[in-house]
Amino acid sequence: MVRWHDRRRTSAIPFQRQRAVFGLIPGAFNKTAFTQAATALFAANDHEARVMFKGLPTSISYRENCSRGEPTPMFDFELTKALFRYPAVRCWQTTDMRIFCGHLRRFPHPWERATAALKYRNRVATGAEAAQSCEFNAPDFDRWFELVTDPVHVDTVRRHYQTAHEGAIR
């Protein structure tokens, strides 16, 4: 059984967790069967009526990059990368990946990165800057995935999450 939970954004936190998948897999874990089912789920939910991701995540944890003391994700590197390929293909056409990845590199603190992204979106909206969308390609996807799953990057996001959450509430 897999249950999908969609929590609407209730605060101004730009990197607030909005969606989560909770699941129970009875019996022995069959990685091949689970990978096929999860990949089909991510691909099927890519329809615009049930969009799973409106944008690409800036931080992704999987079993091997998770810090000690944190709940360990069930998904490994290979499965996580396969699952995020479908949302990435969909989002690639509407995301300026040059800017997106540049912000990931330049602004390790998530609050600063969110501010830079907001300023960029405002410049695009006013015509002061043109967004550069591009065709999806595997090498750029690999670079993006490496950035958002880098253990130092993931730890930085987690370390600053509570501070940013408290700042958004105030």
Q: What is the pLDDT of residue 40?
A: 76
Contacts of 98 (CB under 8 A, 6+ apart): 132, 134
Between CA 62 and CA 38 the distance in angstroms is 15
Judged against a pLDDT cut of 70, whether residue 5 lies above it is answered with no
Lowest mean pLDDT segment, chosen from 14-18, 54-58, 123-127, 162-166: 14-18
Contacts of 71 (CB under 8 A, 6+ apart): none
78 pLDDT band, cuts 50/70/90, is confident
| SS3 call for 153 | helix
Between CA 75 and CA 71 the distance in angstroms is 12
What is the chain's mean pLDDT, rounded? 76
- Chain-centroid distance of CA 6 in Å reads 15
Q: What is the pLDDT of residue 34?
A: 76
Sign of the Cα torsion 68, 74, 80, 84 reads negative
Between CA 51 and CA 24 the distance in angstroms is 23
18-32, 60-74, 101-115 — most confident range: 101-115
20-39 pLDDT tens trace: 554 555 667 677 777 777 77
